Amino acid sequence: MLKKTFRYGRVIFGTILAVVMAYVIYQAVNALGSTLKTVHASLITAGQSVNGPALFVRDEKLLPDLSAPVYSLNLEDGEKVSSGGSYGTVYESASALNSYRENKAATEIAGRLERISSSFNDVYEIPELNRAVTALTARLPSEGHPVGDLSSLKSDLAYTLLKRAYALGDRAELTNELNRYVMLVDNYERTSSMGATALVSSQAGYYSSCTDGYEERLTLENADELTADKVDAIIASPANGDANLSSCPGKIVTDYHWKILLPVPAEEAALLSPGKRYEIELQGKTIAASLASVTGDPEKDERLVLNFDTSANVSDYLSLRTAKVRVLVEQYTGYRVPVDALRVIDGKTGVFCLQGYVARFVEVRVLWKTDAFYVVEADLRGTEGLFTNDTIIINTRGLYDGKVVTNQPQSEE
């Protein structure tokens, strides 16, 4: 009877203890609110910036008008040409140009045949060639998977197929075909060299086939004179293609030096200092540029023109005339702290961090504020303050330094 009473007593005591513990946990969680959240401190960069559509000015030289006679170019957009280097050839007639193109094709085929002849033998392993053809065919573009250098791929495939065809033939047939193309090449070279004149660049730079009328309207010399209204007008109204540009083979962009003209309100222009270097975000990239000058009168004009100089590689922006840019005026790198997490206690600004199950108040220095978060200083060498991967408590009530908050798992966001 005594044992049975003792057993019942333990059950009752355990039940009461469980109820009490559940009530304590409930009170602790309720005191913190039902949406206790944490956020890990993370380094970010934020700051002031000025934005808008900008106009780009470069030092460009138009190539001569070549409406007659016919010409052939040997450069592609973005290729570099040295001073005195050739960028094309002028021919007296269309037949001479065709002769040049045929000579180029014949030379390529003769080269392939020569390479086949040098490795040809009667017991050539056809399976090896078959594997080469299969591998090349597998690289051909399929829907959704384009190949970058398709011309090179086709050339490789044609060469391999030609080599297999002659490997299955005989040496005499290969030799006859090679001799025929060698004779064709010699004949074309004699005829195409007559009346052909090389087109030579007077200055070093980057070749561009784009000639749109801006070349004569925008120069480094007149860039400083463009007001905000004039810059707006050029951005809004593309240059009219002049008649003499229709037959121009292109241009040589002669220098890394170019300008970015950005019209902004006068109050935004006041944030920047002439002579200082800034980072400018442009087409997903960041380039460095110096603010050379500000065009306009800050006392009278509502909008001014920020005139930036840069030596960024112009070959990346050969076709660029206008684009939206973002100039980073000031940058602050530190930890992201949600607005709801920042507190001022006894005149000290800080956040509560979760250390184990204890809330600790950590002082911070605010560098920058947005609608959603603060950027606070990150002292990566210090032994106090906020650290990377610290857990910040937000959306809580009744916290104080040293308070045990709960033994429940914390959610993260």
Q: Are residues 391 and 310 in the same domain?
A: no
CATH number, domain containing residue 296 = 2.40.30
Is 270 contained in some domain? yes
pLDDT tens-digit series, residues 17-50 = 555 454 444 444 444 433 356 666 666 666 678 9
Q: What is the dihedral of CA 327, 330, 336, 338, to 10 degrees?
A: -90
Q: Give the separation between CA 128 and CA 124, rounded to whole angstroms.
A: 9
Residue 239 pLDDT more than 60? yes
Q: Tell me: the pLDDT tens digits for 319-373?
A: 889 999 999 887 677 888 888 888 888 899 999 988 888 888 999 988 888 777 8
pLDDT at 188: 66
Q: What is the mean predicted confidence (pLDDT) over 229-238?
A: 87
Tell me how many domains the chain contains. 4
Domain final residue, candidates 285, 303, 330: 330
User: Among residues 104, 235, 118, which one has the least CA distance to residue 166?
Assistant: 118
CB pairs under 8 A, 24+ apart, for 344-352? Answer: 351/386, 351/392, 351/393, 352/392, 352/393, 352/396, 352/399, 352/401
Decide: helix, strand or coil at residue 96: helix
Residues 370 and 399 in one domain: yes
- Residue 125 falls inside a structural domain: yes
Q: Which of 301, 330, 359 is the endpoint of a domain?
A: 330
* 279: in domain: yes
Determine, yes or no, domain membership for 248. no
Is 337 a member of any domain? yes
Of 293, 322, 316, 364, the closest CA to residue 214 belongs to: 322
For strand 37-40 and strand 411-412, is the pairing parallel, antiparallel, or unpaired? parallel
Residue with tokens 């809330």: 359
Do 351 and 300 sit in the same domain of this protein? no
What mean pLDDT is reported for the chain?
Answer: 77
**301 pLDDT tier (thresholds 50, 70, 90):** very high
What is the number of helices (H) and of strands (E) in the chain?
A: 8, 21
> Per-residue pLDDT tens for 52-61?
999 999 988 8
Identify the three-state secondary structure at position 397. coil
Can you give the pLDDT at residue 199? 86
- The predicted model gives 390-411 an average pLDDT of 72
Residues 278 and 337 in one domain: no
pLDDT band for position 302 (50/70/90)? very high
Q: Do residue 319 and residue 403 come from a single domain?
A: no
Residue 258: pLDDT band (50, 70, 90) is very high
Min mean pLDDT across 161-165, 206-210, 215-219 is at: 161-165
* Cβ atoms 56, 321 nearer than 8 A: yes
**Domain CATH for 355:** 2.40.420.20
- Are 125 and 162 within one domain? yes
Percent of the chain residues past pLDDT 90, beyond the cut = 18
For residue 209, being part of any structural domain is answered with: no
Asked if residue 167 and residue 109 are part of one domain, the reply reads yes
Q: Can you give the residue range of the structural domain that contains 141?
A: 93-194
Within 247-406, strands assigned E span 251-265, 277-282, 285-295, 303-310, 322-328, 332-338, 343-345, 348-355, 358-363, 366-369, 373-377, 391-394
Burial of 228 (0-12, 13-18, 19+ CB in 10 A): buried
Indicate the Cα dihedral angle 231, 250, 81, 258, nearest 10°: 0
Task: Please report whether residue 74 resides in a domain.
Answer: no
